Amino acid sequence: MDLDRVMASVKNCSLHILSTLIVSLALVGCTSSATAPSEAIPSDSVPSETPPPDPASSSAPSESAVLAQSPTPRPATLVESLEHPWGLTWLPDGTVLVTERPGRLRIIKDGELDPPAVTGYHEEIDRWLGRLMEVSDPPQFAENQWVYFTYADGTGSANRTQVARARFDGSTLSDWQVIFEVNRTKSGTQHFGSRLVWLPDGTLLVSIGDGGNPPVELENDLIRNQAQNLSSHLGSLVRLNDDGSTPVDNPFTNVADADPAIWSYGHRNIQGVAIDSATGQVWATEHGSRGGDELNRIVAGENYGWPLVTHSREYSGGEISSERSRPGMVDPLVVWTPSIAPSGLAVYRGEQVPQWQGDLFAGGLVSQSIQQIKLDDSGTVVSQTPIDIGQRVRDVAQGPDGFIYVLTDESNGRLVRLEPG
């Protein structure tokens, strides 16, 4: 064998070894066990099933994101002894209001949890459903003292998400008013959605889940198909005035048979919504079933595809849809497979940590972590960094002091602050 042939053989062998090593490292980096998300299950238990590999996951948008190796923020526990907390908001005087899923509103002042729960809330919040969820105060709170809530109203066989408001005097709620309710009743305890976010024009966005998993039906069809029905609130974001009326400039106001409150549709179960205070862009995180959780950039009037287009699979492992994208429907910016069960979302615009400017912080129930998501100037995801919390993350919010705060959904739930590591 001449020298040139020997050198060529050595070169080919080296390239083969190098390629094998790269593939092996990639496989090690991508290996993970998957658990069906717990957002559809009212108890603390999570199904132990592990889905087969999703053939679409290699082409999912999040797979192109590079995991950043930046220093991880340090979670610091501020308050404990919260029973399955769900939502939080800050009043102008710095008081923090926290909802507990069994139907209580708690007060945190100067870092201390007041022992008694607030009185005067709606006595008909169903104790069997155990679903007091979001709390939010509008920008005009100092003038009108309104606090807004979402909760499950009804019974196990006929229930719906409602939005209500009440005046808060610092210790008691009064003048409770139901200002909106989903226009379809459903059975079971799944997919209530229920995040609230205020837009710069003073209107309110409300996330509504699709109603539940198979075999739950409505109108002789799987209830999840309501997400493609513009006459139904199920599987949508709705936009309301602060009194619950419908803004005249909503995108479907003049569309025949469409409900005028709908802002966007084709959603499965959004439990993370945030607005970027610098740009006005609305972001949402959405539960898939078995994998296929999503981060979406929300645009009024758009269809986000569920269940016609999805990266998600049935809990049984079967395919929900063979389509991952379709003209006229918005593709997710990020897809999480395996599922993180996203809940809670914040866009950082504080001054405490300048290097976090514009980052998204997305909570995960199953992952028990927060994904810190960095975007470039075009809005493309360039990195994701997992921040371990060690408990189910239910809500994420930026506080008025410029730190990120986290609620953990446990029987001994916590209020946690993320501090620079």
Q: What pLDDT is recorded for position 56?
A: 36
Known active-site residue 267: no
Q: Evaluate whether residue 133 is within a structural domain.
A: yes
Contact criterion met (CB below 8 Å) for 133 and 127: no
CB atoms within 10 A of CB 264: 26
Per-residue model confidence (pLDDT) at position 156: 86
Element (H, E) at 331: none
Which CATH number characterizes residue 383's domain? Answer: 2.120.10.30
Q: Is residue 28 part of a domain?
A: no
What is the pLDDT, as a whole number, of residue 129?
A: 57
The predicted model scores a pTM of: 0.84
Residue-wise pLDDT tens digits, 163-217: 999 999 999 999 999 999 999 999 998 999 999 999 999 999 999 999 999 999 9
**pLDDT digit string, tens, across residues 124-140:** 565 545 589 999 999 99
39 inside domain = no
- Spot the catalytic one: 16, 84, 191, 311: 191
Q: What is the pLDDT of residue 51?
A: 37
Q: What is the pLDDT of residue 75?
A: 97
Structural domains of the chain, count: 1
User: Of 100, 97, 115, nearest to 168 (Cα)?
Assistant: 97
Write down the pLDDT at residue 125: 61
Residue 367 lies in a domain: yes
Half-sphere exposure of residue 68: CA atoms within 13 angstroms, side-chain side: 18
Residue 346 counted as domain residue: yes
Q: How far apart are CA 224 and CA 216, in angstroms?
A: 8
Q: How far apart are CA 194 and CA 184, in angstroms?
A: 15
Is 38 a domain residue? no
Using CB atoms within 10 Å of the CB of residue 175, give its burial: 0 to 12 exposed, 13 to 18 middle, 19+ buried.
Answer: exposed
For the chain, list residues with pLDDT below 50.
Answer: 1-69, 71, 128
Structural domain containing residue 231: 73-419
In a domain, 34, yes or no: no
Assess if residue 41 is contained within a domain: no
